[in-house]
Chain A
């Protein structure tokens, strides 16, 4: 009975009703379908997600996502289903565990190391600057006034 209802919903969702809201399944949040679809790799394209791809395969996969969400699966369960059938590569970004944690960590680690390096360099170069700067002598007030005056005049 539940399956029939789901199918009926899909039929009505698929055939947009005239002069109404954009087609949405009443039991299924289209945003969620897009969200899940954007994390799955379209298997017949190269880097596009299931949400974006105009191919027939991606269309069918989106239908499957809708069907499963309507049947009560959580987004995690829907993704797990696809991983079961296709393997980890169907996910557009590897899960953050085990060896795959590397891909998530290394870029940030690299940036962090870079920041540290730049900070170290800046420090070293500041010290070198201070070491070689000529000692600042006292500027007498008349000179100071004259400098101020000339600086505020407009350039010709």
Chain B
């Protein structure tokens, strides 16, 4: 072991740290994978803005999209709202249901949002945030795709596009429950 050569360990010692930091660029600190994928979706029962009761259990056998939104969530919730309505219209006859859950919002601005986009699918407020925590929601908008058997199959963070809606809807509708 030459003593002269050994000294170069000193600068080389910093290399592993640099590699780790370089690798970190490929990661996204804000993207957290959901532990709910593949597990049964948590049951909930909420009162919609129209005064009706809607529960997840009653929808067993259908493909359900649960979308969490808020009127102050700009621009993403505003971007995806028309796509959600379009998707709902396109797939509702094939056994798909869209449910919007409004979190951390006030009644007036929420209703204004709904009127603006003319949502015809059920929307309900989640005033104490129980359902949003049950689904591990950490921001808005977040959308959960639940299959006919009641399991969460896909979670989308951010605005849902027509393409994503179609892709997941086709996939899950194609399965027999």
- Contact assessment for A85 and B128 in the assembled complex, using a CB-CB cutoff below 8 Å: no
A44 in the interface (beta carbon within 8 A): yes
Cα-based distance from A87 to B137 in the complex (angstroms): 11
Taking the closest CB of chain A, its distance from the CB of B103, in whole angstroms, is 9
Task: Determine which of B36, B133, B138, B139 lies in contact with A60 in the assembled complex, contact meaning CB atoms within 8 Å.
Answer: B133
CA A86 – CA B132 in complex, angstroms?
A: 11
Query: By the criterion CB–CB under 8 Å, are B136 and A86 in contact?
Result: yes
- Is the CB of A89 closer than 8 A to any CB of chain B? yes
Chain A positions within 8 Å of B135 at CB level: 85
Do B136 and A85 touch (CB < 8 A)?
yes
CB-CB < 8 A to A64: which residues of B?
A: 129-130, 133
A85 touches B104 (CB 8 A): no
**Contact status B133-A44, CB under 8 Å:** no
**Any chain B CB within 8 A of the CB of A48?**
no
Q: What's the dominant secondary structure at chain A's contact region?
A: helix
When the two chains form the complex, which single residue of B32, B33, B129, B139 contacts A61, counting CB atoms closer than 8 Å?
B129
Q: B34 in the interface, Cβ–Cβ < 8 Å?
A: yes
Assuming A43-B138, A56-B104, is B129 touching A84 (CB within 8 A)?
no
Checking B32, B36, B128, B139 against A44 with a beta-carbon cut-off of 8 angstroms, the contacting residue is: B139
Q: Which residues from 67 to 87 on chain A have a C-beta closer than 8 Å to any C-beta of chain B?
A: 82-87
- For residue B133, which residues in chain A have a CB less than 8 angstroms away from its CB? 60-61, 64, 82, 85
Q: Which residues from 37 to 68 on chain B have a C-beta closer than 8 Å to any C-beta of chain A? A: none
A85/B36 in contact, CB under 8 A: yes
State whether A87 touches B33 (Cβ < 8 A). Answer: yes
28 A-B Cβ contacts within 8 A?
A: A43-B138, A44-B138, A44-B139, A56-B104, A56-B129, A60-B104, A60-B128, A60-B129, A60-B133, A61-B129, A61-B133, A63-B128, A64-B129, A82-B133, A83-B35, A84-B35, A85-B35, A85-B36, A85-B133, A85-B136, A86-B32, A86-B35, A86-B136, A86-B138, A87-B33, A87-B34, A87-B136, A89-B32
Q: Mark A100-132, 1 if CB is under 8 A from B, else 0.
A: 000000000000000000000000000000000
* 6 additional A-B residue pairs with CB within 8 Å, beyond A44-B138, A56-B129, A57-B104: A56-B104, A63-B129, A85-B36, A86-B136, A87-B33, A87-B35
Q: Is B170 an interface residue (CB 8 A)?
A: no
Asked if B134 lies at the interface with its beta carbon under 8 angstroms from chain A, I say yes
Q: Which residue of A lies closest to B133 (CB)?
A: A64
B130 CB contacts on chain A under 8 angstroms: 60, 64
Query: Which residue of chain B is the closest to A59 with respect to CB atoms?
Result: B129
Taking the closest CB of chain A, its distance from the CB of B139, in whole angstroms, is: 7
CB closest residue in chain A, given B42: A85
Q: Which residues of A contact B104 (CB under 8 A)?
A: 56-57, 60
Closest to B136 in A: A85
Distance between Cα atoms of A87 and B36 in the complex (Å): 9
Cα A63 to Cα B135 with chains together (Å)? 16
For A84, give the chain B residue with the smallest CB separation: B35
How many angstroms from the CA of A148 to the CA of B33 in the assembled complex? 77
Closest to A90 in B: B136
Q: Is the CB of B32 within 8 A of A85?
A: no
